[in-house]
Amino acid sequence: MSSMFRDWDIERLVDRITREVSEEVSKLVESVASPIRLATYITPGGYRRPISEAYIDGDEVVVVIELPAASKESIDLRVREREVEVEAGFSEELKKIAPKYSMFKGKGYRTVVSLPKDVDAEKAKATFRDGILIVKIPVQKPKGIAVKVE
């Protein structure tokens, strides 16, 4: 009779472990999928860090930053030799339409994107359409000074 209880206890234990593992896997899947939804995460300052990418295309560096629900007027873009810094706020119109949408709990977006090469920041050009900011910056020509050899 005691062996029956042991079998029953083992089955309960296996059921409980299976349930707990299933819950943990679900949490893991949600945590991996959630950055894809809007942005990678909210910074301690309350800003969302947007999804971004920088790559070289010929003689220019291209930076693509996803800013869903941002307003063009709120974008503060700064380009330096080796990085692009962006801060943007949410569209006030969209915030009025869906004020309780979880996305609007943050202050907006803020990120710094490292660039793969030095760029000529003064010649940067940016466009913003459909929530995507695209920045194109010419690669900086190598600087050098002719040195007279004595």
d(CA 59, CA 38): 31
pLDDT, position 101: 76
Distance CA 13, CA 11 (A): 5
pLDDT value at position 93?
A: 83
Name every residue whose Cβ is closer than 8 Å to that of residue 129 and which is 6 or more positions away in sequence. Answer: none
Give 62-114 as a DSSP string. EEEEE-TTB-GGG-EEEE-SSEEEEEEPBPHHHHHHSTT-GGGGS-EEEEEEE
Whose structure tokens read 């910056």?
A: 137
**Per-residue pLDDT, 42:** 77
Give pLDDT tens digits along the chain (150 positions). Answer: 455 556 667 778 887 888 888 888 777 766 655 544 444 577 788 888 999 999 999 999 999 999 998 999 999 999 998 999 999 998 888 878 887 777 777 788 999 999 999 999 999 999 999 999 999 999 988 878 888 999
**Straight-line distance from the first to the last Cα atom of the chain, in angstroms, rounded to the nearest whole number:** 102
CATH topology of domain 41-138: Immunoglobulin-like (2.60.40)
How far is CA 26 from each of CA 40, 93, 142, rounded to the nearest angstrom?
A: 19, 35, 51
Q: What is the pLDDT of residue 129?
A: 95
